[in-house]
């Protein structure tokens, strides 16, 4: 389990994390989402003992990461796939990690096979690896100590569709065996498929958290029309709660049939009308983070 308790991190006058609290539980994959600069990586670095907190604390398996005995045997980290020694071969990177953590070197071959790096690729210098190969090597390194917890920041970067599907199965299997996974990714569709729980952060604060089902269940009606301004005015006149969505259209606190009748009475042509519980993760994410996301940012 990972526990983040009232965590704050300041850099001078800038507050990167502002009283952040959440849990990533054993046996579950927790998706950690937010726009670029929202504080995801800072929070993960505090969890991993790489960045000191200004206030609050983060613990892994009930203890600060730095106090874990031989932490690589308990926590697998992938925070930057490019932070690997470019002059070593993939096999050398894993072999050195095995030596440092006291792992049987025979595990290196098992992990190379698990992540799909061939013997020829394992003998290649990391500087000659593609981004996807570096990610596979980084995942192998994170799994080297047979940890109970995985903390992965954008692990799918550079992976092709087959690689992403493989990683999804890997993470689900890890959680089903009782492991804890904290996963950051800008591939919202993958998070929706693999995550049991979701935490959304914006401007250094948690803006939503819960199970994937809870956050995506939604309510009311999503509607788009030829004139959303006129439709919103007509609905508001009936004392109906209306919220513009970040992806366009309106979220209306009423049933679809009622919204359709009121739109007809107002003479507004509808382009889309559906239940709010059909909203996907991308739509939910954009609505929650609209105030903190730049237009070009996906996660």
What does the alpha-carbon distance between residue 83 and residue 252 come to, in Å, rounded to a whole number? Answer: 47
Quick one: which H or E segment has residue 92?
Answer: helix 90-101
Q: Kindly report the average pLDDT of the chain as a whole number.
A: 87
DSSP three-state, residue 152? strand
Asked if 33 and 43 count as a contact pair (C-beta separation under 8 A), the reply is: no
Contact at 8 Å (CB) between 18 and 8? Answer: yes
Q: How far is CA 4 from CA 18, 64, 138, 164, 222, in A?
A: 12, 10, 24, 28, 34
Q: Is the pLDDT of residue 293 over 90?
A: no
Residue percentage of the chain with pLDDT more than 90: 61
Residue scoring higher pLDDT (262 or 81): 262
* Residue position matching structure tokens 């009232």: 6
pTM: 0.76
Give residue-wise pLDDT tens across range 105-164.
Answer: 999 999 999 999 999 999 999 999 998 899 999 999 999 999 999 999 988 888 888 888
Tell me the fold of 219-278.
Alpha-Beta Plaits (3.30.70)
**Cβ atoms within 10 Å of 294's Cβ, excluding its own:** 8
Positions of CATH 3.40.50.300 in the chain: 2-211
Which residue ranges does the chain devote to CATH 3.30.70? 219-278
User: Does the domain at residues 2-211 carry the CATH identifier 3.40.1000.10?
Assistant: no
Lowest mean pLDDT among 122-126, 241-245, 270-274: 241-245
Using one digit for the tens of pLDDT, what is the confidence trace for 49-83? Answer: 999 999 999 999 999 999 999 999 999 999 887 78
């Amino acid at each position: 389990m990972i526990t983040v308790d009232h965590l704050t991190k300041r850099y001078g006058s800038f507050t990167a994390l502002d009283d952040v609290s959440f849990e990533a539980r054993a046996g579950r994959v927790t998706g950690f989402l937010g726009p670029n600069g929202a504080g995801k990586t800072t929070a993960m670095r505090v969890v991993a003992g790489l960045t000191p907190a200004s206030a609050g604390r983060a613990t892994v398996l009930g203890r600060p990461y730095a106090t874990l005995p031989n932490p690589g045997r308990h926590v697998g980290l992938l925070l930057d796939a490019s932070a690997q020694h470019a002059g070593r071969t993939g096999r050398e990177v894993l072999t050195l990690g095995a030596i440092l953590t006291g792992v049987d070197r025979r595990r290196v071959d098992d992990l190379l096979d698990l992540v799909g790096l061939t013997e020829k690729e394992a003998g290649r210098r990391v500087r000659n690896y593609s981004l996807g190969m570096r990610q596979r090597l980084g995942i192998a390194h994170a799994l080297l100590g047979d940890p109970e917890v995985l903390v992965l920041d954008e692990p799918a970067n550079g992976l092709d569709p087959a690689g992403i599907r493989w990683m999804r199965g890997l993470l689900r299997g890890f959680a089903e065996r009782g492991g804890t996974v904290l996963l950051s990714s800008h591939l919202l569709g993958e998070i929706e498929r693999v995550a049991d729980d979701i935490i959304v952060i914006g401007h250094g604060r948690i803006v939503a958290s819960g199970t994937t089902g809870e956050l995506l269940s939604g309510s009311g009606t999503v509607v788009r029309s030829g004139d959303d301004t006129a439709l919103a005015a007509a609905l508001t006149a009936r004392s109906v709660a209306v919220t513009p969505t970040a992806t366009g259209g309106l979220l209306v606190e009423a049933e679809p049939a009622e919204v359709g009748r009121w739109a007809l009475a107002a003479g507004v042509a509808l382009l889309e009308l559906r239940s709010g519980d059909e909203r996907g993760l991308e739509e939910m994410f954009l609505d929650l983070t609209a105030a903190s996301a730049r237009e070009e940012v996906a996660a």
